[in-house]
Amino acid sequence: MSTDESAAQDAFLEADVFARNCGSRDVLQNLTSRWGLLALLALTEGDYRFNALRRRVDGVSERMLSQTLQTLERDGFVTRTVLQSIPPRVEYSLTDLGRAVGASVEGLIEQVEAAVPEVMSARERYDDRPPRD
Amino acid sequence: MSTDESAAQDAFLEADVFARNCGSRDVLQNLTSRWGLLALLALTEGDYRFNALRRRVDGVSERMLSQTLQTLERDGFVTRTVLQSIPPRVEYSLTDLGRAVGASVEGLIEQVEAAVPEVMSARERYDDRPPRD
Q: Is residue B45 part of a domain?
A: yes
Alpha-carbon gap: B10 to the closest alpha carbon of chain A (Å): 12
Q: Examine residue B12 and state whether it is found in any structural domain, yes or no.
A: no
Kindly state whether A38 is in contact with chain B, defined as any CB-CB distance less than 8 angstroms: yes
How many domains does one find in chain A?
1
Can you tell me the mean pLDDT for B52-73?
Answer: 97
In a domain, A57, yes or no: yes
Q: What is the CATH number of the domain that holds B64?
A: 1.10.10.10
Q: What is the pLDDT of residue A131?
A: 76
**Cα(B56)–Cα(B79) distance, rounded to whole angstroms?**
18
CA gap B113, A33 in Å, rounded: 17
Task: Verify whether the Cβ–Cβ distance B56 to A111 is below 8 Å.
Answer: no
List CB contacts (< 8 A) between B52 and chain A: none
Higher-confidence position of A76 and B1: A76
Segment (H or E) for A24:
helix A23-31
Asked if the Cβ–Cβ distance from B76 to A38 is below 8 Å, we say no
Mean pLDDT of A29-34: 94
Confidence of residue B11 (pLDDT cuts 50, 70, 90): very low
State residue B93 phi and psi, 5-degree precision: -145, 170
Examine residue B18 and state whether it is found in any structural domain, yes or no: no
Residue B77 inside a domain? The answer is yes
- In chain B, residues 8-37 whose CB comes closer than 8 Å to chain A: 12, 15-20, 22-24, 27-29, 31-32, 34, 37
Mean pLDDT of chain A: 90
Percent of chain B with pLDDT over 90: 77
- Distance, first Cα to last Cα, chain B: 52
Tell me: pLDDT of A50 over 70: yes
| DSSP-assigned letters across all residues of A98-110 | HHHHHHHHHHHHH
Q: Domain limits at A98?
A: 24-128
